[in-house]
Structure 1
Amino acid sequence: MRSRVTALIAIAAVVLTGTGAGATAAPGEQGGHDGTGRFDRPQQGFAPAATELRDGAPEDVGLDPAPIRAAEQQLTAWTQPDPATGHPLFAGAVGLLAHDGTVVDTFTTGSAVRYADAEGTELPPEQQVPMRADTIFDMASISKLFTSIAVMQLVEQGGIDVEAPVATYLPEFGVNGKEAITVKQLLTHTSGLEPFLNLWKDWPDKPSRIKAVMDVAPKTPPGSAYEYSDLNLITLGLMVERLTGSPLDAVVAERITGPLGMPDTGYNPPAEKLDRIAATEFTSDPPRGLVRGEVHDENAWSLGGVAGHAGVFSTARDITVLGQAILNGGTYGGQRILGEEAVRSMLTNYNQQFPEDSHGLGFELNQMWYMGALTSPVSAGHTGFTGTTLVIDPLSRSVAVLLTNRVHPTRDWGSVNPARQAWATGLARAMAVRPRHGEDAWFTGIGNAATSTLTTKPLTVQGDARIEFSAFVDSEPTDTLVLEASRDGANWTPVPVTASGAGSPESEVDALSGTGHRQWWKVDARLQGETLSALGATSDTTGVTPQEQVTLRWRYTTDTNYTGRGIHVDGISVTGSNGTILDGERDTAAFTGVDWQLQGR
């Protein structure tokens, strides 16, 4: 496991710095320009600084539109009532997918305003407001990215040292055990502060609410654990205001959204944009009624709609511009908001001691629960409580944005994580994984809690046998590909395998899994010794009894949550002492696939 982690960290370093030899195509392969349209050719370094979003079709950048259309259908299905719950997963959504600077899909479904009350009584159709491409959403915690960028701008200017105590810049913060908490710890959520305080309810006004954040004591020793906390970003927002002498909303407008040309992004949107704003929740505590055009987060609302952790409103197009600016190394449209080194810091994992909670200086990293098959050590993003998602994938130079108003009419209708994953995975599967051998390869992309099998016909084995194949594995650690053998087709025994390639296991294993490396592995296995004995095969000192019949299968099994892009198997070869037993490239009829298909990409 250590070598796999080390290899993935090395891949991340190559991607962020643009150094190293990088991936190479198999002999005879012809790829897109610099990996465009390819999932199996991870990009290195940043996109060209001049890259700007342009509209196009998936085919324009080598993508297969079918997985994208399938993801669209899933989103629409989630806007329909579920028989089990009686309500949809969310009222509506706007999704945008961009690859190599081309916006390949902007999709709308459902309603921006749909309900008349908190119980879910639907408005008459003529009173509902449909989603549109320029619908404005309360981005909730995606706001944290804007605060983090503002902090990193000050770091570049020399006004902040991320290793310095926060109290250096906010002396009133350095009390009750917080004296040594650093700026970096706030950015990476390792400060030890609790997730939130009920500022809106337990303190009467803005000054007292801010003082409560300054006075709060750590929940755990700083640096000892990861705990996502709104208080971290509220503090950073206050620090930005203190050091710039300007309100946070003015700083974001002047230094981020203005230069990038994001006209619909900001805090406290004006009344003239209300008809384009998606509704959020009906709230009774506090008694706000239908929240629309005001920030949903109660603490941000109690702070005047502008806070470091929440408050930003935006559209799918605007937020994609921000994503492209990160892919470009901090610049867009001729305007630079960050230097490349600062962007690298935002995409570098500083939480290696907390493996499930990778985090750069602002961005979350490597989170399959919402990044789906776009997950990698350098995949960056954030989500928002209202149902918003931003995923930035430097390996494919892609951005996936999904904005829903999942809290309309109530926050209690469930998680939109399945939709987040499906949208990102649709883009990942639209990109090609070219066969390693010949014109096609076996592929399985089953969903959660499922099993697929690729089984050979019975093979006549004399003596030990060698099994070789190539595998492209993109799955979470608990979703595994296993090579198995059987004499009777009913009882199966795992065959240990050895894989080589970026991100592969360091030694022989009984199962393969992994995500983020995006390269083919060469896999080798031996059918001999203990494995043959487990099959019940008779043997003597020379090996297996002549004419032994053995069947092989590749079994891929997923658990109940999260899947990657899937598994490709290619170039299957079985050889024995008398030569070739099975040539999978020449004899595809020798295989029976259950949820496996031959694909040319």
Structure 2
Amino acid sequence: MPSLEPKRGAGGRRPLSAPRLRAGTPERAGLDPTELAHLADEVRALTAGPRPWAAGAVVVAGRGPVIAVAEAAGWAVRYSSCDPGTGAGVELPPAARVPMTVDTPFDLASLTKLFTSVAAVQQIERGTLGIDARVGAYLPEFTAAAQHDITVRQLLTHTSGLRPELPLYDCPDDTARLALLRAEAPLAEPGTHLYSDLNMLLLQCVLERTTGLTLDVLIEDGITRPLGMTATTFGPCPGAAATEDQRRPWAKADRGMLRGVVHDENAWALGGVAGHASLFSTGHDLAVFCRTLLAGGSYGPARILGPDLVELLLTAPGLGFAVDQPWFMGELSGRGAAGHTGFTGTSLVLDPATDTFLVLLANTVHPRRRPPDSRPRAATATRLARAVRGA
């Protein structure tokens, strides 16, 4: 395991700053312009036709401190509702639709987990949280987690054995929701990989207990404010891309067409601030997040983590981050690329080996959810990988 002592520059001092992102040509970024042109064309094609992969999409990609691609396609709002009989969207008149722009915020869904994970690793760096400490040491009232000796590392690596989710949205109040979480025992033996939203909800509880601060404050103070990520926030976010006409039986709650309020039913039930899914952000802000991690935790004059802690975060199996997953990373996988996807259609990949990053944001659940298809995510990542090789 990498050392938890942050690396320092020449003379034992940390570098004073890391270059900020700037727009530039593919050639300036050391990328093949033909491959990137294909990437942009393919993203536009994803939003075309009567039943597109997504109503709209934004792609931001680059290498080093250069953003070589920043494109928007389709619609932030295309449908008024979903026809329950046909499953098709009821389209708004063209004049009533809202075009997608590169500055459109998106409901990040599970990309929120990356911010919760960074917030946790910041506390590990500061010594206020032990990576191998038992959850029960911080939250003794979480009796099931305490009884099974679930650790902070297991929460971060999805090896606690906890089931993927609980129906917190069906609980009558916060007291009942908290009681359900406290009593939830692992479904699998701790140490077994089982992706679970509950890991990040428990981690949120640990962070809030150990710091005395709520998760939204921790993320704003520790990540978004120092990095200048002014478009990254917990909802409501009125200008965001629309998500779902959320109704039973295809959804878990009856809320109607959603825009600017969190899509995930559990995050909604928890008041819109949840460790697993509740942030909104833009392509540019997420590019800053990627660039910060590729630069060892620094961006401009800000430093949110030391390089060794970033290495710990991104090294397989990853802390919150997925590592080398070809199903959404395409040919960027296999060399230590890290990233995540979100249920609403969001994803990001950063590749330390080539110093590249890719943010693909789409509202694939507009106007309703359907079986996920990550082939377009993998295809765009492959285009970026080939742009590196063809440069």
Alignment TM-score, normalising by the size of structure 2: 0.91
Match of 1:70 in 2: 38
CA distance in 1, matches of 2:337, 2:308: 17
Q: Matched residue of 1:121: which SS?
A: strand
| Equivalent residues of 1:49, 1:329 under 8 A apart | no
Letter in 1 for 2:78: R
Residue 48 of structure 1 and its aligned partner are, at CA, apart by 9.9
Match of 2:225 in 1: 258
Q: Matched residue of 1:381: which SS?
A: strand
| Equivalent residues of 1:143, 1:310 under 8 A apart | yes
Match of 2:236 in 1: 269
1:123 aligns with 2:92: yes
Residue 432 of structure 1 and its aligned partner are, at CA, apart by 3.0
Match of 2:65 in 1: 101
CA distance in 2, matches of 1:150, 1:137: 21
CA distance in 2, matches of 1:48, 1:63: 28
1:214 aligns with 2:182: yes
What is the root-mean-square deviation of aligned Cα atoms in Å? 2.1
Q: 1:282 and 1:178, CA in 2 relative to 1: closer, same or farther beyond 3 A?
A: farther
CA distance in 2, matches of 1:178, 1:189: 18
1:376 aligns with 2:334: yes
Q: Matched residue of 2:339: which SS?
A: strand
Q: 1:300 and 1:384, CA in 2 relative to 1: closer, same or farther beyond 3 A?
A: same
Residue 51 of structure 1 and its aligned partner are, at CA, apart by 2.1
Letter in 2 for 1:257: T
Correspondence list, 1:452-491, <5 A: none
Match of 2:51 in 1: 87
Q: Matched residue of 2:318: which SS?
A: coil
Q: Matched residue of 1:168: which SS?
A: helix
| Equivalent residues of 2:145, 2:182 under 8 A apart | no
Residue 121 of structure 1 and its aligned partner are, at CA, apart by 1.4
| Equivalent residues of 2:222, 2:304 under 8 A apart | yes
CA distance in 1, matches of 2:22, 2:282: 16
| Equivalent residues of 1:139, 1:388 under 8 A apart | yes
Q: Matched residue of 1:396: which SS?
A: coil
Q: Matched residue of 1:376: which SS?
A: coil
Match of 2:304 in 1: 337
Residue 178 of structure 1 and its aligned partner are, at CA, apart by 4.1
CA displacement 1:198-227 (0-9 Å, x = unmatched): 1101x111222122112101101101x211
Q: Which moved more, 1:239-248 or 1:380-389?
A: 239-248
1:193 aligns with 2:156: no
CA distance in 2, matches of 1:66, 1:75: 14
CA distance in 1, matches of 2:16, 2:364: 36
Q: 1:177 and 1:168, CA in 2 relative to 1: closer, same or farther beyond 3 A?
A: closer
Q: 1:87 and 1:178, CA in 2 relative to 1: closer, same or farther beyond 3 A?
A: farther
CA distance in 2, matches of 1:192, 1:93: 34
Correspondence list, 1:343-362, <5 A: 343-349=310-316, 359-362=317-320
| Equivalent residues of 1:49, 1:328 under 8 A apart | no
1:280 aligns with 2:238: no
Q: Which moved more, 1:167-176 or 1:309-318?
A: 167-176
Correspondence list, 1:379-418, <5 A: 379-412=337-370, 414-418=371-375
Q: 1:178 and 1:343, CA in 2 relative to 1: closer, same or farther beyond 3 A?
A: farther
Alignment TM-score, normalising by the size of structure 1: 0.60
1:59 aligns with 2:16: no
Residue 368 of structure 1 and its aligned partner are, at CA, apart by 0.7
| Equivalent residues of 1:348, 1:360 under 8 A apart | yes
Letter in 2 for 1:113: V
Q: 1:176 and 1:268, CA in 2 relative to 1: closer, same or farther beyond 3 A?
A: closer
1:234 aligns with 2:198: no
| Equivalent residues of 2:36, 2:383 under 8 A apart | yes
Match of 1:596 in 2: none
Q: Matched residue of 2:80: which SS?
A: coil
Match of 1:427 in 2: 384
CA distance in 2, matches of 1:287, 1:313: 22
Q: Matched residue of 2:224: which SS?
A: helix
CA distance in 1, matches of 2:100, 2:373: 17
CA distance in 2, matches of 1:152, 1:109: 35
CA displacement 1:335-385 (0-9 Å, x = unmatched): 111111211110122xxxxxxxxx212211011111111113421111100
CA distance in 1, matches of 2:60, 2:107: 16
Uncovered stretches (5+) of structure 2, i.e. residues with no partner: 9-14, 84-88
Answer 1 or 2: which has greater helix percent: 2
Residue 416 of structure 1 and its aligned partner are, at CA, apart by 3.9
Residue 177 of structure 1 and its aligned partner are, at CA, apart by 6.7
* Identical pairs, percent: 46
Q: Matched residue of 1:171: which SS?
A: coil
Q: Matched residue of 2:82: which SS?
A: coil
Q: 1:197 and 1:77, CA in 2 relative to 1: closer, same or farther beyond 3 A?
A: same
Answer 1 or 2: which has greater strand percent: 1
Q: 1:127 and 1:376, CA in 2 relative to 1: closer, same or farther beyond 3 A?
A: same
Uncovered stretches (5+) of structure 1, i.e. residues with no partner: 1-8, 19-46, 350-358, 434-600
CA displacement 1:160-193 (0-9 Å, x = unmatched): 1111111111112243774411100010001010
Q: Matched residue of 2:242: which SS?
A: coil
How many residue pairs align between the two structures?
374
Q: 1:217 and 1:375, CA in 2 relative to 1: closer, same or farther beyond 3 A?
A: same
Q: Matched residue of 2:57: which SS?
A: strand
CA displacement 1:517-574 (0-9 Å, x = unmatched): xxxxxxxxxxxxxxxxxxxxxxxxxxxxxxxxxxxxxxxxxxxxxxxxxxxxxxxxxx
CA distance in 1, matches of 2:353, 2:17: 16
1:144 aligns with 2:108: no
Q: Matched residue of 1:281: which SS?
A: strand
1:110 aligns with 2:77: no
Q: Work out which structure has the larger RCO, using CA pairs closer than 8 Å and 6 or more positions apart in sequence.
A: 2
CA distance in 2, matches of 1:222, 1:130: 46
CA distance in 1, matches of 2:28, 2:265: 44
Q: 1:369 and 1:49, CA in 2 relative to 1: closer, same or farther beyond 3 A?
A: farther
Residue 276 of structure 2, aligned match among 304, 309, 313: 309
